[in-house]
C-alpha cells in the first residue's frame, strides 16, 4: 500500500534536501566550502540557505512525478526546466553568496520527479528510480531547455567557457534552440563531452548510480562514519572523473593531475590514516590557492546526487 501523495512529496524532498546539507557539511572536502572553510564571498551558511531555498522546487518536482504516475499528466508536461529555473531563482533570493548549488539543482530536480513517480508505486527501488529518471530526461522539451538556460544566466554561473552552438552567454540562445527544436536532453548531450553535469543527463546519471552511490554505501559500511564516507566519495569521484569546472578554467592537464592526487589520498587511507590526512591537507591547501580556480565544484554536485540516492535508499545518518 502506497503512502498519501503529501507524505511522498515530503519524503522525497526531505531526503534530497538532507543530501545537499550533508554534502556541504562534510569536511575537509579539498578546495570546497564546508563547515570549517569558506571562500571570500561564498560561505558555508550560503550553502545551508540554498539547501532550504530549493525545498519548494523539490516538492513541486516530486508532486509532478506523482501526477505522471497517476496518469494526470504526461512526462513531457512535467516542466522540468521551469522547476529548475524556479529552484535557481530561490537559491539566489535566499542568500548573498551567488551561485552555490546550481549543478546540484540540475541533477536533483529530475531525480525528484522520478522519486515522486517511483515512491507512489507499490515497491519503490533505486533500480526503478534510474529507469524512470531516464524517461524523465528523454521527455524534456524545447521549453525546458530555454528555461534551464534562463536558470544558468539568472544564477550567474561562472567558468562555463564558450561554445559554438547554443551558447548560454549569447542573447540569441532562445531563437537558436527554438529554430533547432532542441530539447533539454539534446542540449545537454551536446555539452556532455566537457561538462559532467551534462554528461549525467546524457548517460542516465552514470557517475551518480555506478560510482558515487555504491562507493558511498560501501564506505559507510566500512567506516560507520557519515562524514568520512562523504569525503571519501568526493575523493573517489574526483579521482575517476577529472572535474570539468577545473578543466574549463585551467585546462584538462591540471584537472587530471588533481584527479591523480585525489586517488593518491584515497590509496593512503584518506581520513582514516595519518598519512592520508596529511596528503589530504596538502591537496586542500593547493586547491585553495589562485583565487579558487582549482575548486572541484562539479565533484561536489555529483557527491550530492550520490548522497541523495543513498538517503532515498534508507542510508540515513
pLDDT above 50: residue 159: no
3-state secondary structure string across the chain = CCCCHHHHHHHHHHHHHHHHHHHHHCCCCCCCCECCECCCCCCHHHHHHHHHHCHHHHHHHHHHHHHHHCCCCCHHHCCHHHHHHHHHHHHHHCCCCCCCCHHHHHHHHHHHHHHHHHHCCCCCCHHHHHHHHHHHHHCCCHHHHHHHHHHHHHHCCCCCCCCCCCCCCCCCHHHHHHHHCCCHHHHHHHHCCCCHHHHHHHCCCHHHHHHHHHHHHHHHHHHCCHHHHHHHHHHHHHHHCCCHHHHHHHCHHHHHHHHHHHHHHHHCCHHHCHHHHHHHHHHHHHHCCHHHCCCCHHHHHHHHHHHHHHHHCCCCC
Condensed to tens digits (0 to 9), the pLDDT of residues 168-193 reads 777 788 999 999 999 999 999 999 99
pTM of the model: 0.96
- Domains of the chain, each with CATH number or no CATH: 5-204 (1.10.4200), 210-298 (no CATH)
pLDDT band at 247 (very low <50, low <70, confident <90, very high): very high
High-pLDDT (> 70) share of the chain, %: 97
Q: What is the pLDDT of residue 291?
A: 74
Q: What is the pLDDT of residue 161?
A: 45
Where is average pLDDT lowest: 2-6, 90-94, 140-144? Answer: 2-6
Mean per-residue pLDDT, 272-300:
93
Q: What is the pLDDT of residue 228?
A: 98
pLDDT above 70: residue 141: yes
Condensed to tens digits (0 to 9), the pLDDT of residues 48-87 reads 999 999 999 999 999 999 999 999 999 999 999 999 999 9
Q: What is the pLDDT of residue 164?
A: 58
Amino acid at each position: 500500500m502506497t503512502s498519501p501523495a503529501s507524505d511522498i512529496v515530503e519524503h522525497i524532498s526531505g531526503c534530497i534536501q538532507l543530501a545537499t546539507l550533508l554534502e556541504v557539511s562534510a569536511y575537509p572536502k579539498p578546495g570546497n566550502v564546508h563547515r570549517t572553510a569558506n571562500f571570500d564571498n561564498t560561505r558555508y551558511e550560503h550553502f545551508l540557505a540554498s539547501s532550504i531555498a530549493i525545498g519548494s522546487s523539490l516538492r513541486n518536482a516530486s508532486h509532478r512525478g506523482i501526477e505522471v504516475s497517476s496518469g494526470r499528466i504526461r512526462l513531457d508536461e512535467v516542466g522540468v526546466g521551469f522547476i529548475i529555473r524556479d529552484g535557481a531563482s530561490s537559491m539566489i533570493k535566499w542568500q548573498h553568496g551567488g551561485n552555490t548549488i546550481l549543478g546540484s539543482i540540475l541533477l536533483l530536480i529530475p531525480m525528484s520527479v522520478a522519486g515522486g513517480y517511483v515512491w507512489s508505486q507499490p515497491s519503490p527501488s533505486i533500480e526503478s528510480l534510474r529507469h524512470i529518471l531516464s524517461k524523465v530526461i528523454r521527455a524534456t522539451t524545447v521549453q525546458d531547455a530555454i528555461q534551464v538556460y534562463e536558470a544558468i544566466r539568472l544564477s550567474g554561473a561562472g567558468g562555463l567557457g564558450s561554445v559554438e552552438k547554443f551558447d548560454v552567454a549569447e542573447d540569441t540562445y532562445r531563437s537558436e534552440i527554438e529554430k533547432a527544436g532542441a530539447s533539454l536532453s539534446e542540449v545537454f548531450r551536446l555539452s556532455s563531452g566537457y561538462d559532467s553535469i551534462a554528461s549525467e543527463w546524457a548517460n542516465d546519471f552514470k557517475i551518480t548510480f555506478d560510482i558515487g552511490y555504491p562507493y558511498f554505501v560501501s564506505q559507510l559500511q566500512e567506516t560507520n562514519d557519515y562524514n568520512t564516507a562523504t569525503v571519501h566519495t568526493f575523493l573517489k569521484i574526483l579521482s575517476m572523473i577529472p572535474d570539468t569546472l577545473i578543466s574549463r578554467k585551467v585546462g584538462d592537464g591540471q584537472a587530471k593531475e588533481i584527479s591523480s592526487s585525489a586517488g593518491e589520498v584515497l590509496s593512503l587511507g584518506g581520513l582514516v590514516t595519518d598519512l592520508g590526512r596529511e596528503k589530504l591537507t596538502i591537496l586542500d591547501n593547493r586547491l585553495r590557492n589562485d583565487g579558487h580556480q582549482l575548486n572541484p565544484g562539479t565533484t561536489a554536485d555529483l557527491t550530492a546526487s550520490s548522497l541523495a540516492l543513498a538517503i532515498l535508499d534508507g542510508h540515513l545518518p
